[in-house]
Amino acid sequence: MAITHDKGIFTLNTKNSTYQMQADSFGCLLHLYYGRRTEGVTSWGLKFMDRGFSGNPTPDRTYSLDVLPQEFPTQGTGDYRTPGLIVRDSEGIYGVVLHYKGFEILEGKYSLKGLPAVHAEDAQTLAITLEDKRIGLTVKLLYGVLPEKDIITRSVIVRNDGSKPVTVMKLASSCLDFTHGKFDLITFQGRHTMERQFQRQSLSHGQFTVGSRRGMSSHQFNPFVILADHDATETAGRCWGMQFVYSGGFLAEAELDQYSQTRLMMGLAQEKFAYPLKPGEELAGPEVIMTFSSEGLGKLSHNYHACIRENVCRDTRPSPIVLNTWEALYFNFDGRKILEVAQSAKGLGVDMLVLDDGWFMNRNDDNRALGDWTADEAKLGCTLGELVRDVNSLGLKFGLWVEPEMISEDSDLFRAHPDWAMTVPHERPVLGRNQLVLDMSRREVREYVYGAIAGILSQGNIEYLKWDYNRSIAAVYSRTSDSQGKVMYDYMLGLYEVLERLHEKYPEVLIEGCAGGGGRFDAGMLYYTPQIWCSDNTDALDRMNIHYGTSFGYPVSTIAAHVSTCPNHQTGRTTPLKTRYTVSMAGGFGYELNPLTLTEEERREIAGQVLQYRTDREIITEGMYYRLSNPFEESYCAWEYVSRNGSKALVNAVIPYNHGNMPLVYVVLRGLSGGTFYRDIGTGKIYPSDALMDAGLPLEMPKGDCEAFTFRLERV
């Protein structure tokens, strides 16, 4: 039994972790423990004493929620740390006092209406009900336990069971309280073209928050955080992760309080959020995927990789190897050029041509036409269907770029429905890339978007969509909503509804997520789009660091990465083709360059890469992924894939900068079978596995900057 309940104590067990909480005699749900798998009851950790200026909900001066670890802290209970729930009642009073009411243990994993969530056969659900009798509020805390994966998910449903309306002002989905410990917080910060840069800092007293107010999970901060023992490394130490299954605004908070206790919390962004609930209505907090590792960050990542790959993504087919036209041609093409590029790409061995932006009416630059999803037949020289057919007849699949949630002011759609754009009345709208965001909270807008995409798909054998999103939301106003405080949340539900409808109707169409690169790289999108364009930055060195950060929470199978031309269009840097390939070996692999301009030598090299990728794809997308160095701290970046049965390993390394008389770099491997030998397929040399995982493999001295090294090993 993964979940048990005994004398008021709830225990959630996974293979390597235990989570415990207790409904105490005051009816409060206290958090007891989340750590290594253990037997017995951990309530001895609770200490009761009179603490000055910490409120007491009863005359017992030794009982204060300001000090005790809680499962779901609320505002107004005398706990002055950050709350998970703030509610304003019909009198305008803030404050919720929740008491334990009951629980249910269910077989299987709960799902959330309208929201993406982990799906699993081998799982149990615990639902704990709390209530505030004064306001008539019921809160259901949901826990999904995937024992074999070491995963515990959390979500919360707030329901107004009273007779008067209330407004939810803040909603977090998960909270972890630690009574002691010296922790680091690991977050993934960035910007457009530099997403998910690894950042680790020790927690000091106060509150540290990351989040997004942009209506998208964002390039700036990823909705994924790790709390780690101060001395935790890749291979040792305790760490806890929280990953939000949501693509809109979020708030992750870490607080070190007056008694050096730590609270970690993840939930909806509070900005522009005030969700009214009429009697009988409810609001679901998006899911948080939690995991615990006592074996360092590498194991924590493995737990997430398996969960995202098998329990979030729903399409597990291998991705086609693509040639994408964006960096190859931008807007400068016609139908003839596309076919020439396709023919040339076919000669390289790729599977699919992806026609990126610029294929529809008036879209010859990025200032207009979004919303008018009619192919520009004059530019293409034929219908879209004919172009797809011609590409198919070259032996290539066809994929197409769309940006369905957007509308340009210069578009027929805007001229017909200016009110469908999210703008504030009588105010000049804030533009982003000269475009506005469609109000996905409106049914008629969702119908239009669904109809437009279905209409495109009906024109030919289109097997892949790249679903882009190129600005953040600024104006939060919906002309039809009864409350502007719910628009951001309803927008996401609207987007998910359209994606779900498309998934049901066209299960064979692969959708790649994209938001100006990796601006919506989150588990919410991965539920609908099993791979995401990781960044608009295709420079090998920058990408290497972006992939490094991304790998903490997301499996390589979800990362789309393309080899592009040099000098690189984002950085102007020239890197060897081999290095670009080495860095791009990921789940959504391909090329984003003009094959017509390649030299014969480059064509041969690329054709070889494509063949090699087909051989390596399984180990890359399904193997165990190991980070072998931290490129932010070390002079090289190395990473490794080991097949599930340990019989093969693929090791990649890049030395970004060459220096005079460099020290040798030794790459120390991990995850090999112990007590045996591995052969380097390239050189035939045989190495003892334990020494490879201890002394490591030396890299040759680089002959220039940005040199890449690859080793393919097999167990003998």
User: Contact residues for ligand DGJ (CB under 6 A)?
Assistant: 326, 356-357, 366, 401, 468, 470, 514, 516-517, 533, 536
The SS3 assignment for 650 reads strand
DSSP one-letter string for 228-244: EETT--SSSB-EEEEEE
Per the structure block, which two tokens stand in for 534? 């990781």
Question: 131 or 463, CB closer to ligand DGJ?
Answer: 463
Min separation Cβ 511 and ligand DGJ, Å: 14
Question: 151 or 352, CB closer to ligand DGJ?
Answer: 352
Min separation Cβ 705 and ligand DGJ, Å: 26
Q: Which of 602, 605, 618, 680 is catalytic?
A: 602
- CB 193, CB 535: distance < 8 Å: yes
> Bridge-partner residues for 266, per DSSP?
174, 252
Question: 22 or 565, CB closer to ligand DGJ?
Answer: 565
Length of the chain measured in residues: 716
Residue 416 CB burial class (10 angstroms; 0-12, 13-18, ≥19)? exposed
Side chain identity at 145, as an amino acid letter? V
- Name the DSSP letter for residue 317: S
Active site annotation includes 231: no
Residue 410 CB burial class (10 angstroms; 0-12, 13-18, ≥19)? middle
d(CA 380, CA 364): 12
Active site annotation includes 522: yes
Question: 410 or 419, CB closer to ligand DGJ?
Answer: 410
Min separation Cβ 558 and ligand DGJ, Å: 16
Min separation Cβ 399 and ligand DGJ, Å: 11
Per the structure block, which two tokens stand in for 98? 């929740």
Torsion (CA) 307, 312, 314, 315 in degrees, nearest 10: -60
Q: At 237, phi and psi to the nearest 5?
A: 100, 160
> Bridge-partner residues for 104, per DSSP?
127
- CB 699, CB 636: distance < 8 Å: yes
Question: 400 or 667, CB closer to ligand DGJ?
Answer: 400
Q: Which residue is nearest to ligand DGJ (CB)?
A: 357
Question: 409 or 616, CB closer to ligand DGJ?
Answer: 409
Min separation Cβ 532 and ligand DGJ, Å: 10
Min separation Cβ 57 and ligand DGJ, Å: 51
Positive or negative, the CA dihedral 149, 153, 12, 184 is positive
3 state SS for 138-200: EEEEEEEEEHHHCEEEEEEEEEECCCCCEEEEEEEEEEEEECCCCEEEEEEEEECCEEEEEEE
Q: Which of 132, 255, 357, 522 is catalytic?
A: 522
Question: 89 or 357, CB closer to ligand DGJ?
Answer: 357
Positive or negative, the CA dihedral 114, 118, 124, 130 is negative
Per the structure block, which two tokens stand in for 353? 């041509």
Q: At 319, phi and psi to the nearest 5?
A: -80, 150
Min separation Cβ 613 and ligand DGJ, Å: 20
Q: Write out the catalytic residue numbers.
A: 522, 602
